[in-house]
């Protein structure tokens, strides 16, 4: 969580946030550095600066979705449909694509019991997609690399266990 503290600077105007000013604070909610909304990730803003930004509405709606999808009560495994109670046992896909017509859009923020991901019927498709996104630069940053690597490893594990 981005914690607001006096002396932090607004990412838009780069001036300090002062006590008593209305502020907006965002936790690191966009892992993809190539995503235009990554500007808002892990950052604080003056309320006024934030509201004037052309992407503030998009940032607000994405942030709301992320907070909702990562609530413990919403961490349901996409393979077995059970609630994932152990936070160390969860693998989450994060934001795959903003394209609502894309076949994988419905798997944005999908969660899995780690050992179960190999059983997921869409694994090959998503692993391929992730590799192509990294390759084209549509996904950038260590968070996206971790996701792409985890999917590739799960694919290899599945192939070798068959
Ligand atoms: Zn500002
Ligand atoms: Zn499961």
* pLDDT per position as a tens digit, 57-77: 999 999 999 999 999 999 999
d(CA 135, CA 158): 23
- Cα-based distances in Å from 56 to 4, 12, 19, 36, 118: 18, 11, 22, 11, 37
Q: Which ligand approaches the C-alpha of residue 79 most closely?
A: 2
Task: Compute, in angstroms, the gap from residue 107 CA to the centroid of ligand 2.
Answer: 15
pLDDT digits (tens, 9 = 90+) for 10-55: 999 999 998 888 999 999 999 999 999 999 999 999 999 999 999 9
Task: Compute, in angstroms, the gap from residue 17 CA to the centroid of ligand 1.
Answer: 7
Task: Compute, in angstroms, the gap from residue 161 CA to the centroid of ligand 2.
Answer: 19
What is the per-residue pLDDT for 19?
A: 85
d(CA 75, CA 111): 6
Q: Which ligand approaches the C-alpha of residue 89 most closely?
A: 2
Task: Compute, in angstroms, the gap from residue 20 CA to the centroid of ligand 2.
Answer: 46
Task: Compute, in angstroms, the gap from residue 16 CA to the centroid of ligand 1.
Answer: 8
């Amino acid at each position: 969580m981005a914690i607001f503290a006096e002396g932090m600077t607004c990412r838009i105007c780069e001036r300090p946030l002062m006590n008593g000013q209305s502020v907006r604070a965002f936790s690191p909610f966009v892992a993809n550095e190539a995503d235009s909304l990554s500007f808002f990730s892990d950052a604080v803003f003056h309320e006024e600066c934030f509201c004037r930004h052309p992407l503030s509405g998009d940032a607000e709606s994405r942030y709301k979705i992320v907070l909702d999808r990562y609530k413990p009560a919403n961490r349901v495994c996409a393979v077995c449909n059970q609630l994932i109670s152990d936070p160390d046992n969860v693998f989450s896909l994060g934001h795959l694509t903003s394209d609502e017509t894309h076949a994988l859009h419905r798997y944005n923020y999908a969660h899995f019991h780690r050992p179960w991901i190999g059983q997921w019927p869409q694994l090959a498709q998503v692993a391929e997609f992730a590799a192509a996104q990294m390759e084209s630069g549509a996904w950038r940053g260590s968070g996206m690399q971790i996701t792409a690597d985890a999917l590739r490893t799960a694919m290899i594990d599945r192939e070798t266990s068959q």
